[in-house]
Structure 1
Amino acid sequence: MQVDSSTTIASSTSASAAISSGKPWSTVANVSRPDILYPTTCLETLPTVTTLTCHQGSRYMLPTALVDVRNTQNRYVTCSVLLDSASELSYISERCARALGVPRSPSRIAVSGISSVKAETTCDCCTLYMKSKVSQDTPDVSVHVLSKITSAIPTSQINTPTMEQLKDLNFAVFNASSPIGILLGVDQVWKIFTFNNIFDSSGNPIAASIIFGCVVTSVQASIDNVVSAFVTTIDIDRSLPKFWQIEKALHPLPLDAKNVHVETHFLETHARHSDGKYIVELPFREKGIKFGNTLQGATLRFNAVERRQLRDSHLRKQYIEFMNKYTRLGHMRELKSDEVVASDSHSFYMPHHPIIKPKLHVVFVRLFQDTSGVSLNSTLHTGPSTQPNLFDLCLRFCLHKYIFSADIVKMFRQIWVSENHRNYQRIVWREDSSEKLKYFILCTVTYGTSCAPFLSVRVLEQLAKDHQRRYPLAAKIILEDFCVDDVSP
């Protein structure tokens, strides 16, 4: 595949010609891979012993060199370079690029290797200015930045007989294992070779001349065969009880004192209207709660929202439609003039603002604080979780032939708030900025309050209990096989 350096996202394939006798592995797009043989373990049973065996044979040396590269201070720094004629592009490691401090430009190229294994995506590209130690050549190379190119190379030293044959040559190669900072691909490799090869006594090529000196090629490194065994014993006394714990049925934990109070409060205060609607009180942490002034802050917030509406006529139209529908449904009502007391400590005015996702919703800010720094949510109990145990629910899920997934429309707003608590849900609103500011109270449970999820699910549970005798099958489904996974407006 031809890769243009200006391409935003492309594919680069690398397959090094150096293949060891025991492990056919190349640079794999020049990203390191662990050079070990992993043990095969059985996933179906818990093993008591784990054994790992690693056998290594002979390998061939990859062509590497030490090259001087110019940094941002115009000084030359020696970097380790790997030559890979099977890589379409040239690369530099993140660590080496930072050490040189060279300027970068954005570049995102997907890199893959043998068997189309996806390695990673380059993050930047930069230009390197190199200098030869043995000639006047100063090539400049365009490279792409990867987090890491490969593991330390060479993994073993050149054997002694070969080093004796090469001792009189001007080498650019490094014989000690070192992290690779730069990889020169096919776009650069053939430019730096001078094609003067060095052969051993048998006629085999062992080194090649490049503009930076000589590099070792096709040299076999002698590696002793290594067999290692690692044994891990398993503590059966700790492992076996885990099976019992998985199979053990979990019993619901008893409610703590706070949640007992919330449950008791619900049972004592909830009521039902003649039309079937449930009426609840807000579970305050303390009785007779008093708030500081919230009207002034709520008014300032509303003025900001109103200015936003004046700049966006479509938003203003949607906002008005939402609030008018809220009123038509009876979910909020306008307060009379004698009901509005600015300094009333037993009321709470909430700011509101629009959220488009993609349909417009008006969000009432329950975290808004009064002049004393107290928010409405901070004075309310969250309530216990009334959802059934998820593990039990999943087991019963398999017993049914049909499963229903549905949405309860306006779930929170199907529940009404008691008259004596509605003053804690006041807002300011008007359709036209030329009109006088109006004051409203929200009559139903409002999303955003900390107790809203508990009240909605608890009322649903209470509905099942109230009609358990008349509709036993439906009540059983609600109480045992019902789960609300997204309690939202």
Structure 2
Amino acid sequence: MYGALDGDSLTNIKYVATTTIQSRITEYHFSLEFCVTGHFLYQPDSEIDISSWNLPTNTPLADERFHESRLIDLLLGAEKLWELEAIAVLPESLHPHHQICEALYTKTTVQDSHGRIIVNLPFKDDSSRLGNSAEVARRRFYDSYLRVYIRITKSDSHGRIIVNHPFKDDSSRLGNSAEVARRRFYGMESRMLKFPELRSEYVSFMQEYQALGHMSLVTNPALHESRYYIPHHCVLKPSSTSTKLRVVFDASCTTTTQLSLNDLLLVGSTVQTDLYLHLLKFRLFQYTMTANVTKMYRQVLVDPSFRKYQYIFWRNSPDAELQTFQLNTVTYGTVSSSAQFTLLD
């Protein structure tokens, strides 16, 4: 009796068979031991429209009917997948552009006095024609943001990165934000009193925030200067193994001028690739690793002169005085936070 684990379910296997599989194109073959089951939990139920696909005519396919909806005959394990991936590399004779690419590389590549490779961009036409493309427009926006970011970034004596808020508009356009932030705090606090355990976790989260130096008490708030109070609330994620409660800061809350902090900040370009491309990368290696950086955004400091745009109201108990605190690090909830962190390298 064998047990086959499929996701969170367990399937009992009574029979095992050994068979030989051979390529229909080459002489390559191999033998594997298979578990025999009556069904798979997943079966393809729709066909893929490949009428617009430009498939190479000189490349033989392992399955010419791959786009059709058919029942699954067998599943191969990962231990054999990587061997098949390795032998599936096409020979140079099947690549129609191989010689062209080789000649182009030779033409556009030189070495400097230190032996380093220098590559020119191999334009097939006048490069000035790229001026109208969306990609160049996006790149120019990214470069512009990068120049702003470099100008507003520095480090302290310990090498800790310090950033400013990249305002795209005059910060004086921010109106009064204290009243709405105060009302939202009182509303949140009133709801928390009905759930003592949830309130305890909220208080613990904020106490840790302060103990780590990520927020600090403001004894003299900049009442006569441009400033911004960020409302906050909590979100619950019971499935999380690290932090089930997180405090979320709402920098999109509008002030009396109908503008929020996020309205005046540069967003920057998208810093991560498409999810689809991330998933494809997992097919390139036999082993992959994922990791989580604890309090990632909060490892980057905000310049003290810009922390007045990260005021919050807080108190540990309804019996205590409501006080103003400032967030000292990059705050998740501001539209510039992702680019501020990712562009550090």
TM-score range, shorter chain: 0.5 to 0.7
SS of the equivalent of 2:193 reads helix
Cα displacement (A) at 1:286: 2.1
What are the equivalent positions in structure 2 for 1:448-467 lying under 5 Å apart? 448-459=333-344, 462=345
Aligned to 1:305: 188
C-alpha distance after superposition, 1:71-129 (max 9, x if no partner) = xxxxxxxxxxxxxxxxxxxxxxxxxxxxxxxxxxxxxxxxxxxxxxxxxxxxxxxxxxx
Letter in 1 for 2:303: S
Question: Matches of 1:398 and 1:404 in 2, distance apart?
Answer: 13
Q: Do structure 1's residue 340 and structure 2's residue 221 form an aligned pair?
A: yes
Q: 2:230 is matched by which residue type in structure 1?
A: M
Q: Give the whole-Å Cα distance in 2 for the aligned partners of 1:383 and 1:371.
A: 26
CA distance in 1 between partners of 2:52 and 2:293 (Å): 43
Contact 2:173 2:257 in 1 (8 A): no
Larger Rg: 1 or 2? 1
What CA distance in whole angstroms lies between the structure 1 residues aligned with 2:263 and 2:53? Answer: 50
1:389/1:432 CA distance change after superposition, 3 Å: closer
Distance 1:432 1:270 in 2: 37
TM-score normalized with structure 1 length: 0.41
Matched residue SS, 2:167? coil
TM-superposition CA deviations, 1:51-80 (whole Å, max 9, x none)? xxxxxxxxxxxxxxxxxxxxxxxxxxxxxx
Aligned match for 1:430, one of 311, 315, 319: 315
1:373 equivalenced with 2:254 (yes/no): no
Alpha-carbon offset, residue 428 of structure 1:
0.4
TM-score normalised to the size of structure 2? 0.56
Q: Is 1:407 aligned with 2:292?
A: yes
Find the counterpart in structure 1 of residue 237 from structure 2: 357
Change (3 A) 1:295 1:399: same
CA distance in 1, matches of 2:169, 2:208: 34
How much has 1:360 moved relative to structure 2?
1.0
What is the alpha-carbon distance in structure 2 between the residues aligned to residue 402 and residue 361 of structure 1?
32
How many residues align? The count is: 222
1:393-436 Cα deviation digits (max 9, x unpaired) = 77776555542211111111111111121110000001111221
Q: 1:317-328 maps to which residues of 2 (within 5 A)? A: 317-328=200-211
Query: Equivalents in 2 of 1:341, 1:403: separation in Å?
Result: 49
Match of 1:7?
Answer: none
Report the CA distance between 1:276 and its aligned residue.
Answer: 3.0
For 1:352 and 1:302, how far apart are their aligned partners in 2? 7
One-letter amino acid of the counterpart of residue 347, structure 1: R
CA contact (8 A) 1:293 1:345 kept: no
Q: Give SS of 2:208's match.
A: helix
**Structure with the greater relative contact order (CA < 8 A, sep ≥ 6): 1 or 2?**
2
| 1:261 pairs with 2:144 | yes
Query: Tell me, what secondary structure is at the counterpart of 2:173?
Result: coil
Deviation for aligned residue 1:321: 0.2
1:416 aligns with 2:297: no
Displacement after TM superposition at 1:274 (Å): 2.9
5+ residue gaps, structure 1, are: 1-40, 49-242, 463-489
Whether 1:273 aligns to 2:156 is: yes
Please show how residues 43-442 of structure 1 align to structure 2 within 5 Å: 253-254=135-136, 255-336=138-219, 339-342=220-223, 344-358=224-238, 359-387=244-272, 400-442=285-327
Query: Which deviations, in whole Å up to 9, do the C-alpha atoms of 1:290-345 show, x marking residues without a partner?
Result: 31111111111111111112221112111110000000011000001xx2244x34
Q: Secondary structure at the match of 1:441?
A: strand
Pair 1:258–1:420, CA change in 2 (3 A): farther
Matches of 2:162 and 2:56, distance apart in 1: 59
Secondary structure at the aligned position of 1:311 is classed as coil
Distance 1:301 1:43 in 2: 53
Q: What is the DSSP-based 3-state SS (H/G/I as helix, E as strand, rest coil) of the residue aligned with 2:230?
A: coil
Distance 1:45 1:256 in 2: 28
Structure 2: tracts of 5 or more residues without a match: 1-49, 58-95, 102-121, 123-129, 239-243
Name the CA shift for 1:276/1:435 in 2 (closer, same or farther; >3 Å). same
The residue number in structure 1 matching 2:91 is: none
Is 1:444 the equivalent of 2:329?
Answer: yes
Query: What is the distance in 1 between the residues matched to 2:252 and 2:320?
Result: 28
**Which secondary structure state, in structure 2, belongs to the residue aligned with residue 279 of structure 1?**
strand
- In structure 2, the CA distance between the partners of 1:421 and 1:401, relative to structure 1 (3 Å rule), is same
In structure 2, the CA distance between the partners of 1:326 and 1:262, relative to structure 1 (3 Å rule), is: same
| 8 Å CA contact retained: 2:229, 2:311 | yes
What is the DSSP-based 3-state SS (H/G/I as helix, E as strand, rest coil) of the residue aligned with 1:456? Answer: helix
